[in-house]
Amino acid sequence: MASAAFNDGLLAFLRRATTPFHAVAALAEALEEAGYSALPEDRSWSLAPGGRYYVTRNGSSLVAFRLGEERTAGLRMVGAHTDSPCLMVKPNPDLTRHGCYQLGVEVYGGALLNPWFDRDLSLAGRVSYSRRDGALATALVDLREPVAVIPSLAIHLDREANSNRSVNPQTDILPLLCLPGDGEEPALRTLLAEHLRGLGHDPVEVLDYELNLYDSQPPAQVGLQGEFITGARLDNLLSCYTGLRALLESDGRQPALLVCNDHEEVGSVSAAGAQGPFLRSVLARIAGDAEACACLVDRSMLISADNAHAVHPNFADRHDGNHGPRLGGGPVIKLNVNQRYASNSETSALFRQLAGQVGVPVQSFVTRTDMACGSTIGPLTAAEVGVRTLDVGVPTFAMHSIRETAGSEDALALCRVLRAFYEAPEPLFPR
């Protein structure tokens, strides 16, 4: 796939996937179009050799897989996560203060808060409501239009803003939605019910929701020659899309799997997270019994794809001098001796070999020894499943900001290596 077409598809996916629920819906739609069949978790599975399937959990996590002729044949697995740091709406959010209607919000994940000020924000997520027949129903909503803003405090009222500004997440980041008139009492649940009716639903009462604010400015390819991709949620929807394209464009001869988990940004401890049983349960059902599953896992490998920190030209001293990935330099193998990343010499060597076969350069990232290291779904999945694992990602600036920046050639480069991985013949490792 040419880079222009790949990036157009990536930008379209980012525009659509404003929440983990919307990301999984978009992934499922693409899989259906490619001939993958949905499997319900609450029923028995009848899996055919060479079959193509997917299963979702909580509407926010997904596992897609294609089978080989033997159930114990090693799976080439790619993992990513669907969630991103953001502002989540509280259960009782309505605030009217000094003539302004605002929403109470809670910070999800390790968000960089300052960039959220003065942005055109919209609202999206999942809403549960009661119908007129008494049944409980759920719908995805995305207002799409900018409906909120978090105004900065003027420099005149905070002369230290450029030298000593901190953000209190309880008091400083409440978004402004409207200026209600006299006697008006805006309520989020009322607004949601009206929106649902506009979508063709007939709610009696909005009972609950999982909603987040997001930057309504669309992602873009920028730079004098289009060198950069900028947008929200590159961490880690870029990897979800890249893994999907690699899976669908590979030749289909080898058994393969894509897992996209929710809740990575808050520790992955959930039924739908990487530290939960979702992937392990799917592998057990593919294999058929415990012994076959152990054989399957031992013959498999997982590439955990999650963004890597590129060397920021203004802050180069935040990197180890010998391990400074750059934008446009290709995918990055992430390593940490304390197992914050799961890469080892075997899995790194295989990735380097595959990258060499398709002409893709490879970079390495090791955090400074005097700085804390982040983590991914890689170590958690390796611990839960027992599978050989590699941590790799596209170099990125401004990770966890409301808008992040990556090189416009790097996602496609990673996709080419992941496609080669999906097509790699047995055995993956010498025995």
pLDDT of residue 374: 85
CA 129 to CA 136: how far, in whole Å?
A: 6
CB atoms within 10 A of CB 228: 18
Give the start-to-end residue ranges of the domains of the chain: 3-84+232-423, 86-215
pLDDT of residue 298: 95
pLDDT 10s digits, 185-234: 899 999 999 999 999 999 999 999 999 999 999 999 999 999 999 999 99
* CATH number 1.50.10.10 given to 3-84+232-423: no
pLDDT in tens, the chain (431 residues): 468 999 999 999 999 999 999 999 999 999 999 999 999 999 999 999 999 999 999 999 999 999 988 777 899 999 999 999 999 999 999 999 999 999 999 999 999 999 999 999 999 999 999 998 889 999 999 999 999 999 999 999 999 889 888 999 999 999 999 999 877 889 999 999 999 999 999 999 999 999 999 999 999 999 999 999 999 999 999 999 999 999 999 999 999 999 999 999 999 999 999 999 999 999 999 999 999 999 999 999 999 999 999 999 999 888 888 888 999 999 999 998 989 999 999 999 999 999 999 999 999 998 888 888 888 999 999 999 999 999 999 999 999 999 999 999 999 999 999 999 999 998 888 87
Intrachain domains 3-84+232-423 and 86-215 with the same fold = no
Question: What 3 state SS string does the chain have?
Answer: CCHHHHHHHHHHHHHHCCCHHHHHHHHHHHHHHCCCEECCCCCCCCCCCCCEEEEEECCCEEEEEECCCCCCCCCEEEEEECCCCEEEEEEEEEEEECCEEEEEEEEECCCCCHHHCCCCEEEEEEEEEEECCCCEEEEEEECCCCCEECCCCCHHHCCCCCCCCCCCCCCCCCCEEECCCCCCCCCHHHHHHHHHHHCCCCEEEEEEEEEEEEECCCCEEECCCCCEEEECCHHHHHHHHHHHHHHHHCCCCCCEEEEEECCHHHCCCCCCCCCCCHHHHHHHHHHCCHHHHHHHHHCCEEEEECCEECCCCCCHHHCCCCCCCCCCCCCEEECCCCCCCCCCHHHHHHHHHHHHHCCCCCEEECCCCCCCCCCCHHHHHHHHHCCEEEEEECEEECCCCCCEEEECCHHHHHHHHHHHHHHCCCCCCCC
The burial class, CB within 10 Å (0-12 / 13-18 / 19+), for 326 is middle
pLDDT of residue 70: 78
Distance of CA 138 to the CA centre of its chain: 22
pLDDT of residue 322: 87
CA 215 to CA 87: how far, in whole Å?
A: 11
pLDDT of residue 348: 97
CA 319 to CA 216: how far, in whole Å?
A: 32
For residue 87, the cross-strand partners are 107, 213
The burial class, CB within 10 Å (0-12 / 13-18 / 19+), for 166 is exposed
Q: Return the CATH number of the domain spanning residue range 86-215.
A: 2.30.250.10
